[in-house]
Structure 1
Amino acid sequence: MRLVQITDCHLHADPDAPSRAGFPLRQLERVVEAVALERPDVVVVTGDVSQDETAASYRLAEGVLSQLACPWTWLAGNHDDPEPMAAVHESPPEIDLGAWRALLLDTRVRGQPYGELGEVQLARLDERLAADDRPTLIAMHHPPLAVGSQWLDAIGLMDREALWQTLAAHPQVRMILCGHIHQAFASQRRCGEGRVAVYGCPSTTDQFLAGSAEFAIDEASRPGYRVVDLRGDEWLTWVERVDL
């Protein structure tokens, strides 16, 4: 089973609108072309599909993503509006991956750059995990731990400790895929009696400079995506970059 993660497209209603270092729609098109060659079984877009929260921006994204020969899904980031997203393409909260399952969580806080799951969603997550002990990956927008950039860590997942307390009772959770950080990232955290891997992903548009205390673009880095191959109860994952 091959899952590919795409993230942080930041599209505008205007298809020719630029970002700080490129043109988001053109870059998304190139990334999706490269992803298609990976022959994924499913593609997950982990938020910030839009920059301006317009229905037109989601229609542009849907037009590109629908060229994939596999199912795809998306979840909201802090720059997204869930209502027009769902009107264009409604996504389920869970994906059946055969021997695995993927749970999609909503970390968006309206009007804020940081994320939060909240007590209700955490309680529901606990119930969902208790109902199925298959190896599980969780996809969300905001990272659930520090990534080493002061400004990004200040706008990560605010109730991250409550998430880790919830996961401690469910050893089948093997990894978390997050967006928001616009860079390749891999770490892990001890959780209960085991460890959970946490992976970040390059944006399809501008890349953030890793380790920077203040906001900074990494102009030398290219857009990319993450491949996750699920093999039994194990996995192999890596990042691919895309030439423009």
Structure 2
Amino acid sequence: MRLIQVTDTHLHADPKARSRNGFPLRQLHAVLEHAKRQRPDILMVTGDVSQDETLASYDHAQAAFTSVGCPWFWLPGNHDQPELMAEYRQLNSEVDLGHWRLLLLDTRVHGQPHGELGQAKLQALADQLEGDDRPTMLVMHHPPVLIGSQWMDEIGLLDREALWQTLAAYGQVRAILCGHIHQAFASRESLAEGEVAVFGCPATTDQFLSGSADFAVDEASRPGYRVVDFNEDELTTWIERVDL
């Protein structure tokens, strides 16, 4: 089973709109064309699909994601409007991969750049994990760990400690995929029941400079995506970069 993650497409209603460093829709198409060569079984989009929060931007997005030719799923980021997204595609909370399963968490806080789950969502997550011990990957927009960029760490998942406390009892959670950070990232969190890998992903639009105290775009880096292969109880993952 092969999953492709794309994230932070930041599309506009105008298909020719510019970002700071390029053209979001053109770059998304280039990334997806490259990703098709990986023959994915599933496409996962981890938020900030839209930049201008318009229905037309989601129209561009759903056409692009559908062109990959495999089932695809998305969740909202801080720039998104879930109500508009749902007009095109249901916002799932779980995806069954057979031996594995994905749990999709909505970390969006209306009107805010940071993320938060809150007690109700954390309890719902615990209930989902309590009832199924299959190997599990969590998928969310905001990173649940510090990434070493001061400005980004201030707008990550604010209740990350509560998330890790919730996960401490559930050894079936093997990994977390996130968006939001516009850069490749990998770390591990050690819990009583085992380690959880955390993976960030390059954006299809502008890349952010890693380790920067203040906001900065990495003008030397290229857009990309993450590949995840699920192999029995383990997974293998890597980043692919795309020349424009």
Q: Is TM > 0.5 for Structure 1 vs Structure 2? A: yes
Mapped partners of 1:221, 1:127: distance in 2: 40
In structure 2, the residue matched to 1:193 is 193
In structure 2, the residue matched to 1:28 is 28
In structure 1, the residue matched to 2:133 is 133
- List per-residue Cα deviations over 1:180-207 (Å, max 9, x = no partner): 0000000011122311000000000000
Mapped partners of 1:107, 1:88: distance in 2: 20
Q: How far apart are residue 37 of structure 1 and its match?
A: 1.0
Q: Is the 8 Å Cα contact of residues 55 and 88 (structure 1) preserved in structure 2?
A: no
Q: How far apart are residue 130 of structure 1 and its match?
A: 0.6
User: What is the correspondence of 1:9-158 to structure 2 with a 5 Å cutoff?
Assistant: 9-158=9-158
Q: How far apart are residue 68 of structure 1 and its match?
A: 1.3
Q: Is the 8 Å Cα contact of residues 42 and 72 (structure 1) preserved in structure 2?
A: yes
The one-letter amino acid paired with 1:149 is S
Mapped partners of 1:80, 1:141: distance in 2: 11
Moved segments of 4+, more than 4 Å = none
Mapped partners of 2:8, 2:191: distance in 1: 28
Question: What 5-or-longer segments of structure 2 have no aligned partner?
Answer: none
- List per-residue Cα deviations over 1:115-160 (Å, max 9, x = no partner): 0001100000000001110000000000000000000000000000
Mapped partners of 1:111, 1:192: distance in 2: 35
Q: How far apart are residue 104 of structure 1 and its match?
A: 0.3
Secondary structure of the structure 2 residue equivalent to 1:88: coil
**Which region of structure 1 is more displaced relative to structure 2, 92-101 or 107-116?**
92-101
Q: Is the 8 Å Cα contact of residues 170 and 193 (structure 2) preserved in structure 1?
A: no
Q: Is the 8 Å Cα contact of residues 107 and 117 (structure 2) preserved in structure 1?
A: yes
Question: What 5-or-longer segments of structure 1 have no aligned partner?
Answer: none
TM-score (norm 1): 0.99
Mapped partners of 1:233, 1:193: distance in 2: 15
In structure 1, the residue matched to 2:232 is 232
Secondary structure of the structure 2 residue equivalent to 1:151: helix
Q: Is the 8 Å Cα contact of residues 6 and 45 (structure 2) preserved in structure 1?
A: yes
Secondary structure of the structure 2 residue equivalent to 1:5: strand
Mapped partners of 1:6, 1:208: distance in 2: 15
2:205 is aligned with 1:205: yes
Q: Is the 8 Å Cα contact of residues 207 and 222 (structure 2) preserved in structure 1?
A: yes
Mapped partners of 1:71, 1:227: distance in 2: 15
Q: Is the 8 Å Cα contact of residues 24 and 205 (structure 1) preserved in structure 2?
A: yes
TM-score (norm 2): 0.99
The one-letter amino acid paired with 1:107 is T
Q: How far apart are residue 241 of structure 1 and its match?
A: 0.2
RMSD over aligned Cα, in angstroms? 0.6
The one-letter amino acid paired with 2:86 is A
- List per-residue Cα deviations over 1:168-225 (Å, max 9, x = no partner): 1110000000000000000011122311000000000000000000000000000000
Identity %: 66
Q: How far apart are residue 243 of structure 1 and its match?
A: 0.7
Secondary structure of the structure 1 residue equivalent to 2:35: helix
The one-letter amino acid paired with 2:200 is G
